[in-house]
Chains A and B, each alone.
Chain A
Amino acid sequence: MIVPQQDPVPLLQADDRTLVGRAADGDSQAFAVIVRRHGPVMRAYARKLLGSTDEVDDVVQDTFIDAWKRLSDLRDAATLRSWLMRIVSHKSVDRIRARRYHDDIDQHEIESPTATFPENISVRRSRENALGQVLSALPERQRQCWTLKEIGGYSYDQIAESLALPSSTVRGLLARARRIVTKEMEGWE
């Protein structure tokens, strides 16, 4: 029995500040625009941390459900995206820690001592896409540390705490990831 109350096009074009204001006031249509606008980048980020699993869908879904409840806490709507990404970070590392129980970090490193890259990495026009490919070929632990540091903005200690790893292990993983990434990206101006 929901009657569409207006031409939806203006809402699609609304800025985050307007959408956040409406959604905080209870407008779920405005929130749906937020979900569609920011969902893809949040999923891309969660995918880097979790790999391509169903957990990506769940984590981002849970993030939005949480965000709806806490929208009034968001003082500055201009920070909406980074606010949402922080929630994704927290929920993703919770999932990673939950997996940890069966995960032997040393085994991981032994299995992938050096990242191998297919000879025929397709030449992508965009430097960003190349970086994406390089990252997806990294061993999972290295990618997680790298993502939390370089994209999530976490400190070394925050990464160690989030992944329940010793600080020295995080340093080592990051060192390897950086070496591989900078080497593979050398060809890109």
Chain B
Amino acid sequence: MTTDTKLDTHGIADVVKTVPGVTALYSAHPTLVTLASRALEKTAATSIVDGPIAATATAIKIRIGIDHTQSTGEIGGAVYLAVQNHLHTANRQLDQTIHIEIASIR
């Protein structure tokens, strides 16, 4: 694992939590992610599971719960934007795919 691929996942988690409509942030531990994401694990050269955000060289995985009064598209988009802005501010390479799974709607 080199510093180039290391990501500040705690920073990402903090940013996700502040998005309106996000009511929970779940662990994206590999055994709990959906099948599509699991396939990506095999292609990762390095892998970091640090706190609730799972990050590999190619993907960042976020698993959230949302409020039932908002649309999945809107919140999903808002979370994506927030994470992109955070990475941009932190001067990171912006080539990871960002996976956002809405696991609960209450």
Direct A–B touching, Cβ under 8 Å: yes
Residues of A within 8 A of B (CB): 1-3, 5, 26
Per-residue contact bits, chain B 69-106, to A (CB 8 Å; 1 contact, 0 not): 00000000000000000000000000000000000101
- The verdict on B24 contacting chain A, using a C-beta distance below 8 Å, is yes
Complex Cα gap A26–B65 (Å): 13
- The verdict on B41 contacting chain A, using a C-beta distance below 8 Å, is no
Q: Are A3 and B67 in contact (CB under 8 A)?
A: yes
- The verdict on B10 contacting chain A, using a C-beta distance below 8 Å, is no
Q: Are B68 and A5 in contact (CB under 8 A)?
A: yes
Q: Are B106 and A3 in contact (CB under 8 A)?
A: yes
Q: Are B104 and A26 in contact (CB under 8 A)?
A: yes
Q: Are B23 and A3 in contact (CB under 8 A)?
A: yes
> What is the count of residue pairs linking A and B with beta-carbon distances less than 8 angstroms?
12
Query: Chain B residues near A26 (CB, 8 Å)?
Result: 104
B24, B68, B104, B106: residue with the most chain A Cβ atoms closer than 10 Å: B106
Interface of A is mostly: loop
Chain B residues touching A, range: under 10
A-B pairs with beta carbons under 8 Å apart, 12 shown: A1-B23, A1-B24, A1-B65, A2-B23, A2-B24, A2-B106, A3-B23, A3-B67, A3-B106, A5-B68, A5-B106, A26-B104
Complex Cα gap A3–B65 (Å): 11
Query: Chain A residues near B104 (CB, 8 Å)?
Result: 26
- The smallest beta-carbon distance between B18 and chain A, in angstroms, is 12
Complex Cα gap A187–B65 (Å): 60
- The smallest beta-carbon distance between B48 and chain A, in angstroms, is 25
Query: Chain B residues near A3 (CB, 8 Å)?
Result: 23, 67, 106
- The smallest beta-carbon distance between A32 and chain B, in angstroms, is 15
Complex Cα gap A97–B85 (Å): 59
- The smallest beta-carbon distance between B97 and chain A, in angstroms, is 26
- The smallest beta-carbon distance between A30 and chain B, in angstroms, is 13
Query: Chain A residues near B67 (CB, 8 Å)?
Result: 3
Which of chain B's residues 7-65 have a Cβ closer than 8 Å to chain A? 23-24, 65
- Complex A-B, nearest 9 residue pairs according to Cβ-Cβ distance, in ascending order: A1-B23, A5-B106, A1-B24, A3-B23, A3-B106, A2-B23, A2-B24, A3-B67, A2-B106
Complex Cα gap A72–B104 (Å): 19
- The smallest beta-carbon distance between B100 and chain A, in angstroms, is 17
- The smallest beta-carbon distance between B65 and chain A, in angstroms, is 8
